[in-house]
Chain A
Amino acid sequence: MEAYFDNAATTRCSDGARDVMVRALSEDYGNPSSLHGKGMEGEKHIREARKNICRTLKAKETELVFTSGGTESNNLAILGAAMANRRAGMHLVTTKIEHPAVSAPMRFLEEQGFSVTWLDVDRDGLISLEQLRESITPETILVSIMYVNNEIGAVQPIQEAAEAIREKNPGALFHVDAIQAYGKYSIHPKKLGVDLLSASSHKIHGPKGAGFLYVKEKTKIKPIIFGGGQQKNMRSGTENVPGIAGLGQAAKEAYEMLQEKQEHLYQLKEAFLAGLADVEWAHPNGRTGRDSAPHIISLTVDGVRSEVLLHALEDRQVYVSAGSACASNKPAPSSTLQAIRAGKGALESTVRISFCPGNTLEEVEYCLGVLKEAVPQLQKFSRR
């Protein structure tokens, strides 16, 4: 049996997404900017994708910018908002558990003279609305908070955060990195009070190399890529038609029977955690109930280093992710685990298990069996 439990890293492209991409590559290969019929066919794919995605977001079709993926969406939101609004203020707010695609552009802006407040999180990885309120000043132009944390699956109170921001400084923009949340939750940015929202295609069974940024109408941001003026000048460069078509199809599929899928994911997660309740060497990080992300489990395994466990599982066709990248000559402990004040053991010995709706309870059982066999074996040979 094989169990691919690394769906927060990337997912298998769905057959539907693949088929529409093949059409866009082989038949409707025209450049959407070309005036002839072939160009029209390319453009049609983009329109279709736009329509499908906007339906899931309850957004207007003018509020979507296609990008090369989540990283670019986050960069465009943060750098674009900072550049467009720096006259209004030079202060930004974010959290200590953001993905590098948010924290790195933030740090770049710090070098450029902006000041950034990095919000703490509690042991479950949740921000404090109180601290958020205190951090916002009249100088604040942007707040960026991730929806679902990619390492431990913590879900932030986005709507409450939006209200807090509005209350303290109605001019400040609110960006949400929803890369691990889109396709798992029903997300309506306007209702949530979100101005900018990033998502990625390959986390929802679409192809790699595509993503989008939702930009609420009348939100002031500047482009970060310049050129031929495509996508109303917000993102120059010939559109990645096959990628966008695949993303659109994947988004549509992700939101079909969302409730059922979400329920299924929670059942997998609960079965997995229940299966480990009787061993004393496994400790989940953060919340594990239905107030946490349905598809992510962060698990610390006593006495076995992440990388070793990962390879041992791999030998039995179970694929997970090392929750903390920790190698002998370049220790780079996870900033999320540090932020939730996980112990040294957790920093060295955490793996992430992440599901997709295609995973089954049998796979979970199989993985549990493999874990229970491999871990005691590996613990015998830990560093003494």
Chain B
Amino acid sequence: MFKAFLIKYGEIGIKGKNRHLFEDALIRQIKYALKPVEGEFQVTKEQGRIYIEALGAFDYDEALASLQCVFGIVGICPVVLAEDEGFEKLAEDVAAYMDSRYPDKRKTFKVETRRARKSYPLTSMEINAELGGRLLHTFPELKVDVHNPDIMLHVEIRKKINIYSETLPGPGGMPVGTNGKGMLLLSGGIDSPVAGYMIAKRGVKIDAVYFHAPPYTSERAKQKVVDLAKIVAKYAGPIYLKVVNFTDIQMYIYEKCPHEELTIIMRRYMMRIAEHFAKETNSLGLITGESIGQVASQTMQSLAATNEVCGIPVYRPLIGFDKQEIIAVSEKIGTYETSILPYEDCCTIFVAKHPVTKPNLKIIRRSETHLQEKIKEMVKTAIETAETIIVEADMDP
């Protein structure tokens, strides 16, 4: 029955002179999201709203699900389109709409008309009154409440007439691409995909880097990361994923540095390499899934130690989240099931039984001097040999 969607976008409406930039980005993201959906769509901007009309048959559920992944959308109103064939016909259409959408009529309602096409013979106030009256007559159980109605029935007189009364929630946030780009450190765990999602939600385009340690981590672990990136790409758009072979560096640290400092030093090198890629590809910050105190390498002291090597901001959107809260988001966005697949990631394989939880920066720096001989060359090699995978939401496995 629905042939169109009206898109509500709260926050971006108030962006002053930049507003058209945000709207154009939102339209671009909507078109991108609808590309794999069965059917053809026309996306237009008119009078401060975005309007999606299906040209011919389309898959309603699929289209709705795709739109619910587009950041910047606050609400999605499924719209019934009616040809203008006189007021009598309109009244019938409105009654039919109410009848099919609300089988239980013990509700209050209000008709809210917008007459965009001023040539229509009745004014909006007249239409409100007339349609309201007729609905009350047809369905005696309905009641009018103009202040706080259960059903806000919108009738918009445009080229065609739009009838809608429901608003389904969108993900909120801002259209991806309106706030620069960030480099996500993506592992195979629960947290990092959620961190990427949350930053993308603020309009940031996402690139990602994954540290691979064969033979300690398997091809399946890498596939899992690609699969996670695919899910994040549903929201964030295409992701350039760098896969870095980290085995040699990890082994070298393992050989030369105290074991309980391994994770911290390893993470410092991950940050350095990620920052290199960020600068190379114009990312303005790093993004991690860290949350204070979750593990030894995420205490305030440890975060300070890893943060020290970064010259660009590190965004940690989950910093104040509990694990359960992170899991709730990962379940909502659909990454949880993939995240919990049991493959080793390179952070866990050599973990010490008692890693330092309050690393002393001076000591860490001194330990790193043991790496002087080869580490520069190793980092260079890791950067040069990194593989780039362009991850799209609908790419083949």
Contact = CB atoms under 8 A, between A and B. Distances in A.
A327 B344 contact: yes
Contacts of B343: 327
Contacts of B350: 381, 383
B213 to A, nearest CB: 10
Nearest to A312: B215
Contacts of A327: 342-344
Contacts of B218: 307, 311
B216 interface: yes
A383 B355 CA distance: 12
A381 B254 contact: yes
A311 B216 contact: yes
Contacts of A308: 215-216, 349
Interface string B124-135: 000000000000
Interface string A296-307: 000000000001
A246 to B, nearest CB: 27
Contacts of B349: 308, 328, 383
B344 A307 contact: yes
Interface in A302-332: 307-312, 314-315, 327-330
B352 A311 contact: no
Contacts of B149: none
Closest 6 CB pairs of A and B: A311-B215, A330-B342, A327-B342, A312-B215, A328-B348, A384-B259
B344 A328 contact: yes
Interface in A341-372: none
A380 B348 CA distance: 17
A311 B213 CA distance: 11
Contacts of B214: 311, 315
A92 to B, nearest CB: 31
Interface residues of A, number: 16
Tell me what chain B mostly uses at the interface: helix, strand, loop, or mixed.
Answer: loop
A381 B251 contact: yes
B215 A314 contact: yes
Contacts of B251: 381
Contacts of B351: 383
Contacts of A311: 214-218
Given A329-B340, A329-B348, A384-B259, 12 more contacts: A307-B344, A308-B216, A311-B214, A312-B215, A314-B215, A315-B215, A327-B342, A327-B343, A328-B344, A381-B350, A383-B349, A384-B352
B375 to A, nearest CB: 17
Contacts of A383: 349-351
Contacts of A380: 255
Interface string B248-264: 00010011000100000
A381 B255 CA distance: 8
A234 B343 CA distance: 41
Interface string B334-374: 00000010111000111110000000000000000000000
A330 B341 CA distance: 9
A23 B215 CA distance: 42
Nearest to A325: B342
A380 B216 CA distance: 13
A331 to B, nearest CB: 9
A183 to B, nearest CB: 30
Interface in B216-268: 216-218, 251, 254-255, 259
A327 B382 CA distance: 26
28 contacts: A307-B218, A307-B344, A308-B215, A308-B216, A309-B215, A310-B215, A311-B214, A311-B215, A311-B218, A312-B215, A315-B214, A315-B215, A327-B342, A327-B344, A328-B342, A328-B348, A328-B349, A329-B340, A329-B342, A329-B348, A330-B342, A380-B255, A381-B254, A381-B350, A383-B350, A383-B351, A384-B259, A384-B352
A309 B350 CA distance: 15
Contacts of B254: 381
Interface in A160-209: none
Nearest to B251: A381
A12 B117 CA distance: 72
Nearest to A313: B215
Contacts of B348: 328-329
B190 to A, nearest CB: 10
A315 B352 CA distance: 26
A379 to B, nearest CB: 13
A382 to B, nearest CB: 9
A241 to B, nearest CB: 30
A384 B255 CA distance: 11
B345 to A, nearest CB: 8
A311 B214 CA distance: 7
Nearest to A327: B342
B354 to A, nearest CB: 11
Contacts of B344: 307, 327-328
A215 to B, nearest CB: 38
A263 to B, nearest CB: 34
Nearest to B352: A384
A310 B343 CA distance: 13
Nearest to B190: A329
A66 B41 CA distance: 51
A359 to B, nearest CB: 23
Nearest to B247: A381
B167 to A, nearest CB: 40
A330 B188 CA distance: 14
A311 B349 CA distance: 14
Interface string B302-336: 00000000000000000000000000000000000
A311 B346 CA distance: 14
Nearest to B344: A328
Nearest to B339: A329
Contacts of A307: 218, 344
Nearest to B345: A328
Interface in B166-225: 214-218
Contacts of B352: 384
